[in-house]
Amino acid sequence: MSADRQKTFAAAAALAYVEDGMTLGLGSGSTAEIFVRLLGERIKDGLRVRAVPTSSQTAALALEVGVPLIDVDHVNHISVTVDGADEVDGHFQLIKGGGGCLLREKIIAQASDLMIVVIDESKLVSKLGRFALPVEVDRFGFSITAKQIYDVLRACGIAKPDVQLRRKGDGLDPFVTDGGHYILDCACGAIPDAAMVDYRLKTLPGVVEHGLFIGLARVVIVGEDTEARVLEL
């Protein structure tokens, strides 16, 4: 069964948490995009909601399918955020940021009453770290920050971290986030203590944000071959 079919099952199941009049957070990535398209269909049928997008790409898609948007600075309450993830472990700890939107995704997730994560089965892991951990950094002195990140990862029990500047598709110019920052992708293999890495990375001056989402997701919806499995904390 294709991953796209599993993602569609997961995204469709997330609609059960959406109620009339809500302000929603719209995540980024392939599964979140499916949710946005399905939400647009519900709005055509009469559902009344408004939404805050976490990326320019999500904003463009939402407008295309008829989802009303509200500027993040005009929001005082977000009921539900639906977003994807690159990895999810058994404690609902996440790695996000493969698409480069981790800062805005975390801001919206933190401000929401409920964060729902929609994934296909391949994103479930026993321990985080198979997917490289993205760290969003200020452009100034990013090579210094990269060395400090390497040292932190070593101190947290990761034997051979590999910290690389993310580049655009052509492989020449650095990838730049919507916020104007660089991303350092940190291949860890496995992260023994995600909470410790979370804490230690936050102490580095050049780090804007990182892709470990801990204590944010309360519902994980896993798309399977014939249905979606809903997991709740």
Please tell me the number of Cα atoms within 13 Å of 84 on its side-chain side. 28
Both tokens of 116, joined, read 């729902």
Helix segments in the chain, DSSP class H: 3-14, 30-44, 56-65, 102-110, 142-155, 194-202
- DSSP annotation of 4 reads H
- Burial of 224 per CB tally in 10 Å (0-12, 13-18, 19+): middle
- Burial of 155 per CB tally in 10 Å (0-12, 13-18, 19+): exposed
Amino acid identity of residue 40, one-letter, is G
Is 105 part of the annotated catalytic residue set?
yes
Both tokens of 224, joined, read 């399977």
Choose among 144, 221, 134, 220: nearest CA to 177. 134
The Cα angle at residue 122 between residues 8 and 223, in degrees rounded to 5:
30
- Burial of 233 per CB tally in 10 Å (0-12, 13-18, 19+): exposed
Spot the catalytic one: 41, 64, 87, 105: 105
- Tokens 């099952």 correspond to what residue? 9
- Could you list the active site residues? 105
